[in-house]
Structure 1
Amino acid sequence: MPKIKTSRSASKRFKRLSSNKYKFKHAYARHILTKKSTKHKRHLRIKSILSKKNNRKIMKYLPYI
C-alpha cells in the first residue's frame, strides 16, 4: 500500500504537541494593524490549540508529523 502524502500547506501552519494536539497562529495579524487595538493585537500573538473536532481533520492532512 502506498504512503499517504503530507499536506505541505498544513505542515507549515500547524505544529504537533506531545499530547497529540496541534497549535496554530491566529489570522488577521499581518497588515492593517493601525485600526486594531493593542489588546486585540496582543491576543493575536498568542498561539492557540485546535479543538478536538478539527484535530481529527488535521491528523488526516499530517499523517507522519
Structure 2
Amino acid sequence: MVKEQNQNVDKYDIPVWRKYTLSVQEAAKYFHIGDKKLRKLIDENPDAEFILWNGSR
C-alpha cells in the first residue's frame, strides 16, 4: 500500500521545464550545483535577469 501512495504523489509532480518558477532547491538540482553556491550567485548578481523569492521577500 505504501508503494501505491508514492506512485500517486509522483504522477502529480510537474517537470522542471514546465514550471514558471523554480525554488532554490529545484534550481540547484536542475543546474547540478549546490544551493549554497546558487544563493551566493544570486547575492553577487543583484542586477541579473533572475529573481529569488524567499517566502514573501
TM-score under structure 1 length normalisation: 0.25
Structure with the largest fraction of helix? 2
Greater RCO, 1 or 2 (C-alpha within 8 Å, sep 6+):
1
